[in-house]
Structure 1
Amino acid sequence: MLEQQYRTRQDARREHDFRYDIKNSLNTRERRRGAVAEVYEWVESCVIAVGVILLIFAFAARTATVSGPSMLPTLRDGDRLLLVQAGYHDPQYGDVVVIDRSQKGEPPIIKRVIGRAGDEIDIDFETGQVRRNGQTLDEPYLNEPTLTRRDVEFPVTVPEGSVFVMGDNRNHSADSRTREIGMIDLRRVMGKAVYRFLPAGRAGEID
C-alpha cells in the first residue's frame, strides 16, 4: 500500500515536472520571439529614419562647402552649410545663396542677394556705399566697404528672372560686379544657405 502511494506521488511529480518543462520551454520561446520582434522593430525604425533623411536631402535640402574668403566674416573657407531647396524660388534681400556654375565647368559660388528684378543698383567706390533704388544699404555683415571696382559699369538694373549678388568680403570677391558672373539667372540658384553645421564650434544659423 505504501509502495503504491509512493509510486503515485512519484508519477504525479514527474507529470508536474513535465508540464513545468513544457510551460518553461514555451515561455522561453515567447521571450525569444519578443526579443526578435523588438530588434526587428528597431531595425525597421532605423531604415525608415534613414529613408526619410535621404528623401529630405534629395528633394528638400542639400549641403555645400564654402571655398575661399569671399564671404568673410560671415562664412569661412571650409565651412559646411545646409541649404534649403524645396519651394525656394524667390530669393529675398540679404539671403545667402549657392549658385550653380556647372554650365561653365566651374564649382558653385556662395554670395549674398543685393538686388532683385527691377532694382537699380549703384555703387560709390569712393565711399564704399551701395545704393538700391537710390537708398544707401545698411550692411552690417560686410568685412569692409565696397571699394574695389570691377568691369561692370554702374548703375545697373536687374533684369526679370535674375538677382544681383555680392560677397561679404567685397574687395576680395568675384560677383555680379564682373561680366564673367554678372546677373544671376534664378534657375541657377541652387538654394538658400540657412545653417552652418561644421565646424561644430561655429555651428548655427546663417544671418
Structure 2
Amino acid sequence: MPEKKQTAGRGAYEWVQALVCSVLTVVLIFTFAVRIVRVSGESMRETLQDQDMLVVLNNWLCGGYEPGDIVILQRDDFYGGEPIVKRVIATEGQTVDIDFDAGVVYVDGAALEEPYTREPTWTQEGTEFPLTVPEGCVFVMGDNRNDSDDSRDSALGPVDTRCVLGRALLLAVPGPTADTEQRDWSRVGILN
C-alpha cells in the first residue's frame, strides 16, 4: 500500500511541475518575444480589419524591417500614444515620392506594385515629397490609403525604429469584416 501512495504522489508532483514549467514558458515568451495587439480602426483594411488580434514579434527580435512588413508603432505625440498598425513602404536611405494625381507611390524612382491596397493613394497629409527616409527610420502607410494617418502626415513623418514595437507575424483572431460584420476565420494565419 505505501508504494501506491508514493507512485500517486510522484505522478501528481510531476503533473504540477509540468504545469508550472508550461505557464512559466508562456509568460516568458509573451514577456520577451511576442505580444498580442488589437487592430483599432480601418487604416489597414482590406488586409486587416478593425478588432483583429495580431501576434507581434517584439522589436528587439526583428533584426530590422523590410518594405512590406506590417508593423506596430507607438509614439506619445501621435494618436494619444496608442499603438497603430501600418505597413513599411521604405527604409532608411530610400526615397519616397507619391504622384497624388495618379495615386501611385514610388520608392527610389520605381512604382510600387501594391496589391494589398484598398485603392490608389489620393490623399495628401502635409509631408513634402520626394522624401529620403532618414537613418534609423522607416516610412509607413496604411493599406487603406485614403483613410489612414501615416508617414504622409507631417505630425508623424518617417518613424524612428525605436518607436516600432514589433512586426506582425500572424492574424490570431479575426475581427468582424467591415462589409459583412461577420468574423471570417479563413483569414487566420501568417501575415505577409
Normalised TM-score (structure 2): 0.90
Structure-2 separation of matches of 1:42 and 1:127: 63
List runs of 5+ in structure 1 lacking aligned partners: 1-27
| Deviation readout 1:136-173 (Å, 9 max, x if unpaired) | 00111111111111111211110101000000000000
Q: Does 1:130 align with 2:115?
A: no
The alignment's C-alpha RMSD in Å is 1.3
Q: Greater shift after overlay, 169-178 or 190-199?
A: 190-199
Q: 1:102 to 1:36 in 2, by over 3 A?
A: farther
SS at match of 1:122: strand
Equivalence map 1:77-156=2 (5 Å):
77-85=50-58, 86-102=60-76, 105-156=80-131
Following TM superposition, where does structure 1 have runs of at least 4 consecutive aligned residues deviating by more than 4 angstroms? none
Residue 89 of structure 1: how far off its partner (Å): 3.8
Amino acid of the structure 2 residue aligned with 1:75: L
The percentage of counterpart residues that share the same residue type is 45
| Aligned position for 1:72 | 45
| Deviation readout 1:68-114 (Å, 9 max, x if unpaired) | 00000010100111011142141111000000123554201110000
List runs of 5+ in structure 2 lacking aligned partners: 175-182
Amino acid of the structure 2 residue aligned with 1:100: Q
Q: 1:53 to 1:103 in 2, by over 3 A?
A: farther
Amino acid of the structure 2 residue aligned with 1:58: T
Structure-2 separation of matches of 1:167 and 1:100: 15
Normalised TM-score (structure 1): 0.83
Matched residues, number: 180
| Deviation readout 1:10-46 (Å, 9 max, x if unpaired) | xxxxxxxxxxxxxxxxxx2211221121111011101
Larger Rg: 1
Higher percent of residues as helix? 1
Structure-1 separation of matches of 2:77 and 2:4: 60
| Aligned position for 1:204 | 189
Structure-2 separation of matches of 1:103 and 1:171: 22
Amino acid of the structure 2 residue aligned with 1:101: R
Q: Does 1:60 align with 2:45?
A: no
| Kept after mapping to 2: 8 A contact 1:102/1:108 | no
| Kept after mapping to 2: 8 A contact 1:101/1:109 | no
Amino acid of the structure 2 residue aligned with 1:50: V
